[in-house]
Amino acid sequence: MNTSVHKKESLAERVANHLSDKIIRNEMQPDERIQEMRLVELLKVSRSSVREALLILERRHLVTISPNKGASVASLTDHDIRSIHEIYGALITHLAVDVTQKWKYEDLEPLFEYFNTLLNPELEKNIIGHVIDTGFDIVHLGCAISGNAYLKEMLDNLRFALYRTYYLAINHNRDEICHIITFYERILQAAKERDVDEDRLRMGELSMMVMEMALKGARNHRQAEQRSD
């Protein structure tokens, strides 16, 4: 998955992106303590770079920093998953309606180009990451069409938390990937036809479906962890 920032990265940002991938892929568990000195030794970077990286991760809602306990991986309870998807669902539905009402002819081609990459059979080995990345690429283009800087900022702030829940949802429900792709297609087609009601309906259904998939994935992951203990 492409969790990198779109600019020349500082050392702290590279460390943050490295840890982001581990958290998103559940290689670092919810509530797991993060030991600064261990990261310094493992990654061969300064302690100040690690601390700055942890602050970046806190802004991404992937890490919690406590004055007494230090840094730990952010929790991902059922309540957390519902909370993330409820607010994201409202924001993304607003964006979809905005795009449906505002798009110009030249906006459509890049949107459908991104979608068409999902139909490439060569991507089967990395389909999870590609489905997630493509969804966020389409959101990024949608924000440009919308022109609402405040909406874009709120969606950007939730991006990494969404990466985490989407990975959990799709990795544990691989058979549902085709349904997500179908929803992408229906949402884009409704936007093309300027059908606001259809777009609002489909976006709401997609948000609910992914949330339920993430909840199921979280339960499966917890059960697997319990069996391994």
Cα 57–chain centre separation: 14
Show the DSSP H helices in 44-176 as ranges. 47-59, 78-102, 105-116, 127-146, 149-171
Co-location of 144 and 223 in the same domain: yes
Looking at this protein, which amino acid is placed at residue 7?
K
Per-residue pLDDT for 64 more than 50? yes
| Domain end call among 51, 73, 95 | 73
Query: How are the residues of the chain apportioned to helix, strand and coil, as percentages rounded to the nearest 5?
Result: 75, 5, 20
| Domain end call among 55, 73, 91 | 73
pLDDT, one tens digit per residue, over 95-149 is 999 999 999 999 989 999 988 888 776 666 677 888 888 889 999 999 999 999 9
pLDDT category of residue 225 using cuts at 50, 70 and 90 = confident
Q: What is the CATH number of the domain that holds 50?
A: 1.10.10.10
Residue 220 has what pLDDT?
85
Single out the residue of 170, 186, 175 nearest to residue 221, CA to CA: 170
Residue 170 structure tokens: 């799709």
pTM attached to this predicted model? 0.86
Distance between CA atoms of residues 63 and 73, nearest Å: 5
Residue 5 has what pLDDT?
45
**Number of compact structural domains in the chain:** 2
| Domain end call among 73, 88, 106 | 73
Residue 222 has what pLDDT?
81
Residue 6 has what pLDDT?
47
More confident residue, 115 or 198: 198
Residue 78 has what pLDDT?
95
Residue 116 has what pLDDT?
87
pLDDT, one tens digit per residue, over 68-89 is 889 999 999 999 999 999 999 9
Per-residue pLDDT for 28 more than 90? yes
State mean pLDDT over 186-203.
95
Is 124 inside a domain boundary?
Answer: yes
- Domain that includes residue 174, residue range: 78-228
Residue 3 has what pLDDT?
55
Q: What share of the chain in percent tops pLDDT 90?
A: 70
Put residue 194 in one of left, alpha, beta given phi > 0 → left and psi -120 to 50 → alpha.
left
